[in-house]
Amino acid sequence: MIDHGHNGFEIPPGPLAGWGADTALLGQLVGAAFDECPSCPEALLALVGESAPTTAQLVERACAAVIDTLGGIPVDLADVANVDSPVPIGFRRLALTVAERGGPAELAAQSEGLSVADRHAAARTATAVFVSEIRAGNQQLRRV
């Protein structure tokens, strides 16, 4: 049982808002991860992984932040052919869709095609990337 709370972040609705992405859940996850809570992120990641649109939205937001910072997505984050990559395949598949300027329907379909475990791993990576961008000051989000 979780006996504490975290201020979340207000995650703006992205391209998957109309597909059922839960931005409130994403805000809670990002807040808990930003606060470096040892217990809450894992429970929230499990919920995000259950939702294909929410996972896709999180990866899209992380990729958008990287694009804002670097001008593109590094090949290592989207190389689906590299079987030895430390980046989870679910994240790489979704990041490749973003890099190729796939629309919300493509991103949602790609996420639906992933297993819950792959979405969970993709969400974990996306959270780490997104929180790093917030810490670096590259993303200006409001705490709620």
pLDDT in tens, the chain (144 residues): 456 778 889 888 888 878 889 999 999 999 999 999 989 999 999 999 999 999 999 999 999 999 999 999 999 999 999 999 999 999 999 999 999 998 999 999 999 999 999 999 999 999 999 999 999 887 888 788
d(CA 122, CA 130): 12
What is the rounded CA–CA span in Å between residue 53 and residue 64?
16
